[in-house]
Structure 1
């Protein structure tokens, strides 16, 4: 059975791509046929031929070592470093939910596991014109459980709780929280971990320190996260 997992976060630049790369790497290094997918990615640079290169996809490919062609990873690539809905207003090519689903399903047919990364935080407009597409629409369309990436530092209790409440309101399945930039033994960050679990009822399943090359989750743990009704 093809399995997928969606990686979202409490905001922009909290380490979603970094954590996603570690998850993909763990599966790949453990011998599992794994792909990466991100529906829409903004803030990308052009190569010498003038082609937009999806930076997040390139990063995940480099860190994880997967052989997946980069042009199969992101169906919508924008140059401006803004939300996809705004980038598409000036650059064209607004996101079509059917295209996202089709591209994801193509990967599911070719690879056993697909790790999907969201854009921005959980409240992210993907398209906002005559059609309204929010990030939760992508998650629901792909029918995936989600893991939340959060910074371990000051203010994360508020961000994590609000993210979890929003996801609950919109019917999104939460499988766990991963803390990034975690400093083991730091009193505040250890308490943040405890309080986030206590208030939300969602477990912190891993803590990643700066520049970690591996994640404490096993490949089997990650696979269980992607399975409906399973936990680790």
Structure 2
């Protein structure tokens, strides 16, 4: 790219997918504020991108990912928030303490991975939900590409929760973050983002849930529904 091409604007002026390697890219989609200025300042567009796949690669489930996503999920909760294949039954009291009403949440279970992938694709293509949180251990690259393409049909926040080891695999996700537990919060690594490489992780303090000490007293959400039985109602 020569100097004359750069005059009158940055590389984004030529194409929205171009950016300077020394700067964070401008997001081509709407972003939702993370609720954490330190994290938002490290993300292209200043927040979680909608209409795209976001990879959250966890050392293990239940390390604070829901508290991390809480501000963004509350911001889009005027539409349904779908939790697909969570590793543990979502706890009603904990979610209520975070500010969620049971009517805002849909808990989906599928007996087979193919059904879960099908359900995720239908939710994304419908554009009727504010967010989709999808926990999956093993996903083929072809399936990730289908989900990423389906997400582009709308403005749903779409988070794939996968094992940390998946960071070694390729992914079409423009944003990939690793999540590790740390005293008082989370350690967030920037596996992939549209912008300069950041080797040092970001420590993000998270306020512990007041109900954590009373977890045995909590109760799960009502029994999950199967993906194929609920989807006609969800995506109409």
Normalising by structure 2, we get a TM-score of 0.42
Which structure: larger Rg? 2
Q: Which has the higher helix share?
A: 1
Normalising by structure 1, we get a TM-score of 0.43
